[in-house]
């Protein structure tokens, strides 16, 4: 029946760049960005992005070139999410918390033509560049600094800086029209590294189509209405700020940019600008608890907070909501270019006891609207696990927002996509109501006497103990059962091992979970080792746990543990 040809009017390649032009035309009077004293409207942001894009083109940036940026959540970071793809190039935002060595590995792998660097990170990039192997065939990237817009120390006229490139950009209509037009929506738009610490860097390549659909699902999944005032407490270098960079243009939002994410800055900006929305990793929720203030609860509507990135304990949600925030929980990976699951709230749940509500909220939820399928599969049989909320399996995903693959890493790419799914490496369960809950990273699961023990489940119980502020559970070797849980715990200030003894905590665990799940060892730390994103480095804890030896008789009545660093003994 159908021999209708497509034409330019009804077949437009999907790309999130279009949301910026739309914002400039449909929301001409609205504020796009607030950063300190700096204010832009959407037409100004569009103009600045066009200018930078034309300047980049004049610097020979062209399709599929990589342009990196090392910067916090400043306006330039936001703008480059549009201006770089406007040239056909691929944006590579680099985590500012990485060390020089890791940044050098990323630069060596991504081969950017230009690296934009916030002035604060000038020493870091210099150090990274020195670590880059010198190679005549590969020139060092051009470095362009991003100085504060209202900075009094202007760069010399010869020196290239971000604002200089914008000033010299050409925005006559013909130039804007001559900007790159996406022809193939599967072309890459961004390159985000999940890991660069080893010789096996994993650079996640996301397409224009993927980013476009992620943008729409980010709006729908969070039920984000028109004109939000969005505070950037989520780093834009995290999966392009879970695609919120582009979503905010699509929604005509006001982006409140802050350089440093701390309680004072967050609360001050919420008050000053009437923030309605923010997204963050659970660590930031903890920061909010520290710097609590009272008058947030007097606002007409609570600030809506989207959180995800690690499995936060339900108790954390409850505490944050008491401060006047309304928390939504989501789950995603860099590979899914933002949240793939949202814990969609059902009004009926409001009638449940608060604690039960928070347990429901701590689940990762149901797949977002543009994800085609999510399943939990037995890792051996590859069959779907029953929807019983108990049987664990690996969470697997199909959908257009998934990455195209890892740059120059076919082995990791085919491993990630084997069996026709994206294999997340996260182990979870699926409930009768369709909600998915993560139980562990597959490498973090503890297998004890053939039983799978979710380290997250054990941690949850530890977090509910009133003296514990941080807990991480990993496997330690056990002569009889292969592995057994070992807990690393940080106590609240003022508490210490003398007050809360290891034995007390283990007894508390025995009272609150099946015995086979209980840690047989508790180690007290002042601080847990974390990576640049604030995630607890369980690999390091495993290294410590490996050095602990269990000397246990069959009756389990007497044990001596030897620790590599210190000697610890305990009685169960």
Positions that interact with a copy of itself (CB under 8 A): 1-2, 4-12, 14, 18-19, 22, 25-29, 64-66, 90, 111, 186-188, 191, 205, 210, 216, 219-220, 223, 225-227, 250, 252, 344-347, 366-367, 369-370, 372, 397-400, 402-405, 407, 413, 417, 420-422, 432-434
CB of 304 to a copy of itself, least distance (A): 12
Tell me the two tokens of residue 532.
């640049």
Cα→Cα distances 138→59, 113, 166, 369, 381, Å: 17, 10, 27, 43, 47
Nearer to a copy of itself, 407 or 453 (CB): 407
Nearer to a copy of itself, 172 or 532 (CB): 172
Judge whether 236 and 245 are in contact, CB under 8 Å: yes
Judge whether 142 and 113 are in contact, CB under 8 Å: yes
CB of 309 to a copy of itself, least distance (A): 21
Tell me the two tokens of residue 26.
């449909």
CB of 314 to a copy of itself, least distance (A): 21
CB of 223 to a copy of itself, least distance (A): 4
Q: For residues 373 and 397, give the distance between their C-alpha atoms in angstroms, rounded to a whole number.
A: 6
CB of 407 to a copy of itself, least distance (A): 7
**In terms of C-beta distances under 8 Å and separation of at least 24 residues, what long-range contacts does 353-361 make, across chains too?**
354/318, 355/314, 355/318, 358/314, 358/315, 358/317, 358/318, 359/314, 360/435, 361/314, 361/317, 361/327, 361/328, 361/329
3-state SS, one letter per residue, for 174-243: HHHHHCCCCCCCCCEEEEEEEECCCCCCEEEEEEHHHHHHHHHHHHHHCCCCCCCEEECCCCCCCHHHHC
Closest CA to 544 of 552, 554, 536: 536
Nearer to a copy of itself, 412 or 476 (CB): 412
CB of 531 to a copy of itself, least distance (A): 26
CB of 216 to a copy of itself, least distance (A): 5
Q: For residues 443 and 539, give the distance between their C-alpha atoms in angstroms, rounded to a whole number.
A: 9
**Crossing angle of the two packed helices 354-361 and 314-322, in degrees rounded to 10:** 120
Q: For residues 444 and 276, give the distance between their C-alpha atoms in angstroms, rounded to a whole number.
A: 36
CB of 155 to a copy of itself, least distance (A): 30
Nearer to a copy of itself, 373 or 543 (CB): 373
CB of 280 to a copy of itself, least distance (A): 22
In the sheet with 371-377, reading across from the earlier edge strand, the strands are 371-377, 393-399, 422-430, 436-441
Nearer to a copy of itself, 341 or 550 (CB): 341
Nearer to a copy of itself, 266 or 333 (CB): 333
Closest CA to 211 of 187, 195, 227, 234: 187
Nearer to a copy of itself, 26 or 560 (CB): 26
Nearer to a copy of itself, 298 or 419 (CB): 419
CB of 67 to a copy of itself, least distance (A): 11
Nearer to a copy of itself, 239 or 471 (CB): 239
CB of 418 to a copy of itself, least distance (A): 9
321 SS3 class: helix
Q: For residues 475 and 351, give the distance between their C-alpha atoms in angstroms, rounded to a whole number.
A: 38
Rg (CA), the chain: 25
Nearer to a copy of itself, 42 or 317 (CB): 42
Nearer to a copy of itself, 279 or 396 (CB): 396
């Amino acid at each position: 029946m159908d021999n209708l040809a497509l034409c330019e009017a009804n077949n437009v390649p999907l790309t999130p760049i279009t949301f910026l032009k739309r914002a400039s035309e449909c929301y001409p009077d609205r504020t796009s960005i607030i950063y300190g004293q700096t204010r832009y409207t959407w037409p100004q942001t569009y103009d600045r992005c066009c200018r930078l894009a034309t300047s980049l083109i004049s610097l020979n940036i062209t399709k599929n070139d990589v342009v990196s940026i090392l910067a916090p959540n400043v306006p330039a970071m936001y703008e480059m999410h549009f201006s770089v793809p406007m040239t056909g190039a691929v944006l590579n935002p680099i985590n500012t918390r990485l060390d020089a060595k890791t940044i050098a590995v990323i630069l060596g792998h991504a081969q950017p033509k230009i690296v934009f660097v916030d002035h604060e990170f000038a020493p870091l990039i210099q150090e990274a560049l020195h670590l880059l192997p010198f190679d005549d065939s590969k020139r060092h990237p051009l470095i362009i600094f991003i100085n504060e817009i209202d900075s009094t120390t202007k760069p010399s006229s010869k020196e290239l800086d971000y604002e200089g490139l914008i000033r010299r950009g050409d925005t006559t209509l013909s130039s804007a029209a001559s900007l790159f037009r996406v022809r193939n929506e599967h072309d890459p738009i961004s390159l985000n590294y999940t890991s660069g610490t080893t010789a096996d860097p994993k650079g996640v390549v996301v397409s224009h189509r993927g980013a476009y659909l992620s943008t729409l699902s980010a709006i729908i999944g969070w039920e984000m209405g028109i004109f939000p005032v969005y505070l950037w407490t989520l780093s834009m270098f995290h999966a392009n700020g879970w695609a919120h960079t582009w979503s905010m243009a699509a929604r005509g939002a006001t982006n409140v940019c802050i350089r440093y994410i701390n309680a004072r800055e967050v609360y001050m900006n919420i008050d000053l600008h009437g923030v309605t929305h923010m997204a963050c990793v659970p660590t930031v929720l903890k920061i909010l608890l520290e710097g609590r203030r009272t008058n947030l609860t007097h606002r007409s509507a609570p600030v809506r907070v989207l959180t995800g990135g690690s499995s936060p304990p339900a108790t954390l949600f409850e505490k944050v909501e008491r401060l006047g925030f309304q928390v939504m929980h989501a789950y995603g990976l860099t590979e899914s270019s933002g949240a793939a699951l949202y814990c969609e709230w059902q009004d009926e749940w409001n009638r449940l006891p608060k604690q039960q509500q928070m347990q429901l909220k701590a689940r990762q939820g149901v797949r977002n609207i543009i994800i085609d399928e999510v399943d939990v599969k037995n890792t051996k049989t590859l069959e779907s696990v029953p929807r019983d909320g108990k049987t664990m399996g690996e969470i697997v995903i199909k959908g257009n927002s998934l990455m195209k693959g890892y740059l120059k890493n076919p082995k990791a790419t085919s491993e990630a996509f084997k069996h026709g799914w994206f294999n997340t490496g996260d182990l979870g369960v699926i409930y009768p109501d369709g909600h998915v809950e993560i139980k562990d990273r597959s490498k973090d699961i503890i297998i004890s006497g053939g039983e799978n023990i979710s380290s997250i489940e054990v941690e949850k119980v530890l977090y509910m103990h009133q003296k514990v502020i941080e807990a991480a559970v990993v496997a330690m070797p056990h002569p009889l059962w292969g592995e057994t849980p070992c807990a690393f715990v940080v106590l609240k200030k003022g508490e210490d091992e003398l007050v809360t003894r290891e034995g007390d905590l283990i007894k508390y665990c025995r009272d609150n979970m099946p015995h086979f799940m209980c840690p047989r060892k508790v180690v007290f730390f002042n601080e847990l080792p974390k990576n640049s994103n604030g995630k607890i480095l369980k690999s390091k804890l495993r290294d410590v746990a490996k050095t602990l030896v269990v000397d246990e008789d069959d009756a389990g009545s007497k044990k001596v543990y030897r620790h590599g660093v210190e000697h610890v003994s305990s009685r169960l």
